[in-house]
Amino acid sequence: MILTVTLNAALDRTLTVPNFESGRRHRASDALTLPGGKGVNVARALRNLGQPVIATGLAGGRTGTAIIEQLTAEGILNDFVRIRDESRTSTAVVDPTSMQQTEINEYGPSVGESELALLMEKLAYLAKGADLVVLAGSLPRDVPVDTYAVLTEVLARPDLRIVVDVPGPALRAALAAAPWLVSPNAREAEDVVGNEFSDDDDVAVGAEALCSLGARSALVHDEGGCVARVEGVGGEGGRRTLRARIDVRSEVVSTVGSGDAFLAGFLAGTYDGAGVEEALCRGVAAGAASTQLLGAGVVDRADVDALARQVVVEEVPAGS
């Protein structure tokens, strides 16, 4: 199975507000509330793509109860550690007229050492039956910045592939633990490598830098696709750099969680035994498909299959 870990789970509320302007009173034309946090979003997309997945992490208070109950109602298997403090609520305002969105994310609960220790125990148990573990999302308050690095080291075994999709200093710390894969968006990758990307060649250099910092493979994604620096077959033969792009002319409904859907699509392909090129096609297609629906990690499998045929994958020459 695939195990996703969300330390800072949330209840995500997405509001559709035409002609949204700050400082004015508006009426939402549509609203959707779903359990969220990056790992939860990845789990939802994986389930929609037909993969066996269990979501775990930390959940607290009434919000945490709502997260667990709604995940169960969606049919997503879950096993969260309950904590004392209240889990966060996040709000996204999507304006269909300007195609802009505004996100307001709470910091999340304070987590104690004993609660983290319980999570470590649960992960050690659940990971025994996993082929892939996805550590994803921001850290709650009072959680050490190297927590994802510690989890990567504790869970490491030869037959377990550990994926890290986290922002900022937590990503930099996790790289030192040599995860199998990291999947930042372009801005997150820029923060870690210390320079801005102006084109795909810059992104390729950034992906290589992430690998030089410890990752075995790196996917750096944006709204049009991704640049991947990946291991050769079986981890041998060095690394290859690939560019995967799609030109989707359908109307974008929301980009919230599209990066999570991208990662889920890539992992779904990997779990099914697809080659890197095919897995990248499924990842880019899933990310694109998710922008056409409201809700993070919400994808339609038929849409992903259709869009995957439109993805173009090219090898980036060394030194370009």
Domain chopping of the chain, boundaries:
2-315
Least confident of 187-191, 206-210, 286-290, 316-320: 316-320
Closest CA to 32 of 91, 98, 107, 106: 91
* Model confidence at 236: pLDDT above 50: no
Half-sphere exposure of 80 (CA within 13 A, CB side): 30
Closest CA to 298 of 11, 5, 16, 36: 36
pLDDT band per the 50, 70, 90 thresholds, residue 9: very high
Instruction: Name the pTM for this structure.
Output: 0.92
The mean pLDDT value for 6-22 works out to 91
* CA–centroid distance for 215 within its chain: 16
**CATH fold of 2-315, please?**
UDP-N-acetylmuramoyl-L-alanine:D-glutamate ligase (3.40.1190)
> Could you give the percent of the chain with pLDDT greater than 70?
97
Q: Cα–Cα distance between 208 and 175 in angstroms, integer?
A: 12
- Comparing 184 with 21, which gets the higher pLDDT? 184
Amino acid at 149: A
CA distances from residue 193 to 117, 148, 168, 234, 267 in whole angstroms, order as listed: 31, 18, 10, 27, 24
Q: What is the pLDDT of residues 120-157, one digit of tens each?
A: 999 999 999 999 999 999 999 989 999 999 999 999 99
Closest CA to 61 of 111, 105, 125, 12: 111
pLDDT at 237: 52
